Structure 1
């Protein structure tokens, strides 16, 4: 067996979906399926029960998940061990590409001030890619959307989103000083796909449905320009942060659009996450988390 087979097995075990596992590994499903089949053949046991659009771990597969995760974590830690021995330990942090730039900049500054003699390497990616990287030991900490559903990860909430409704400037709701979710129940709401952080996005979508919004148009990706174009052409609505937060929300800082604050709290959170077991063993991870706690000791930001 080889490392790639183990990585493919663990990705499928965590995603329970060959397509999502392949996407996470930046591969197509065929080589992932082939690697898992080869591993099963070498071990002489089925690791997954494969059904139409459904994958489940067998008892044997379940027994291997923890051990394979530990093996990969140790392998991925070899370079880190060499860096530490040579005094060139790189502090590796990540951030969701959908968070406001000012929050990511603040997180990076915390890391730079805590470790002034170390190189800080930053990775921007969807939360769904950053979380497995934390588990594999490829990142020391990451700014991600919450909540988490991974037993070895912990997080500190650093920001809470306050959403607004974005629409055309000539929309009937554009003159309101604020809106409630109930004001949107007769409209179609354009939303992004859940893929960047399924747990957080699905919870948001469920909150919207619970408020009585039943008509949704799901965009294929989180492209802010395409989103704004769809809202403009369809006379639709979408959710956004205040454009003053920067980032993708700035696309609605345009006279063609109106951005009206929502009174309802949708409980969408941003936090710094880390691997709990590494925080107990790695001085860099432990020091980084201590610095994050000190930086946000006064409480969470409201964006």
Structure 2
């Protein structure tokens, strides 16, 4: 098994097609396809299901990916050591969370990285794929992350409220329970932002009898209040100046109803590759510095 074969596998896994991977590796498609076939013959297992215009990882490939990424990372680190270079800690954070936590992650990483950290921002699902394929070393994402080879540590959980334009005739004087939303129409952020926790939340709402849940396009958040006024739809949101909802909702004008603790569990935390031997010391130090003490997670919102 050669490094070039592993790099071909990881690149095809990341891009999803032979053509896109070939462009990344500056080769033609036919030799790259043969390289993948040779690796599969060597392993005695298929790595991809060949779909129409798309390569999908097999269950074996899901388990093999963390090992392949780590072998390549150590090979790259050997070259840096020989050249007298330091590997920067590459960190990412979703913009759809606490600005304070993002700032703390960046500051903590800068203190513990031998070279200036590199930073990127995207939705959690994209960051997790970048992390899995060795393009990031540490990421602030929504939890849970249930993919092979990725470890996580929860930092906080969200406290939700229901926001409305006008009077939705919801109970007052106590926190809302999910059954209070029976028959209501809700707006939600897209499931693709982080499928696992978003799906769990939407399933809980549907199970409580919510009439409909519409996933909004992130490009439409600026006009969200106007839509809510026209349709009577409600928005489940985390209401704090430190959180994204404050950027596009006028919290002083909206009616807001807190949701009881425990009705919705949605967490934010740090994710990293469990096999990472290149940055493990820095990652352990960052995780220790940011992890909350005690059994209860801090609440956001």
Q: TM above 0.5, one fold?
A: yes
Deviation at 1:56, TM superposition (A): 6.5
Query: Are 1:127 and 2:120 counterparts?
Result: no
SS in 2 for 1:139: coil
2:190 pairs with 1:193:
yes
- Aligned 8 A contact 2:95 2:121 in 1: yes
Q: Structure 1 residues 54, 67: closer, same or farther in 2, change over 3 A?
A: closer
Normalization by structure 2: what TM-score? 0.77
Does the 8 Å CA contact 1:76/1:138 hold for their aligned counterparts?
Answer: no
Go from structure 1 to structure 2 and tell me whether the alpha carbon gap of 1:148 and 1:87 turns closer, same or farther (over 3 Å shift): same
Does 2:167 correspond to 1:166? no
Say whether the 8 Å CA contact 1:91–1:119 is kept in structure 2: yes
Stretch moving more, 155-164 or 125-134: 125-134
User: Which deviates more, 81-90 or 196-205?
Assistant: 81-90
**Is the CA contact (8 Å cut-off) linking 1:97 and 1:124 kept in structure 2?**
yes
Counterparts of 1:1-303 in structure 2, within 5 Å, are 6-7=9-10, 9-11=12-14, 31=19, 38=30, 40=33, 43=37, 48-49=48-49, 70-75=67-72, 80-84=77-81, 85-115=83-113, 118-173=115-170, 178-221=175-218, 224-265=221-262, 266-278=264-276, 281-282=277-278, 284-299=279-294, 300-303=297-300
Deviation at 1:233? 2.9
Q: Given that residues 152 and 276 in structure 1 are in contact (C-alpha distance below 8 angstroms), is that contact kept between their aligned partners in structure 2?
A: yes
Q: Please list the CA deviations of residues 136-161 of structure 1 after superposition, one character each: whole Å capped at 9, or x if unmatched.
A: 22222111111111121111110111
Give the whole-Å Cα distance in 2 for the aligned partners of 1:222 and 1:268: 23
Shift of 1:103: 1.1
Distance 1:111 1:55, change over 3 A: closer
> How far 1:169 sits from its partner (Å)?
4.0
Per mean C-alpha deviation after superposition, the further-off stretch among 239-248 and 159-168 is 239-248
State how far apart, in whole Å, the 1-side matches of 2:162 and 2:100 are: 21
1:245–1:94 distance in 2 versus 1, CA, 3 Å: same
Task: Report if the CA contact (8 A) 2:12-2:55 is conserved.
Answer: no
The alignment covers a number of residue pairs equal to: 281
- Consecutive unaligned residues of structure 1, counting only runs of 5 or more, are 12-20, 23-28
Superposed displacement of residue 236, structure 1: 1.1
Aligned-pair Cα RMSD in Å: 3.6
C-alpha displacement of 1:78: 5.6
- The CA distance in 2 between the partners of 1:148 and 1:47, in whole Å, is 22
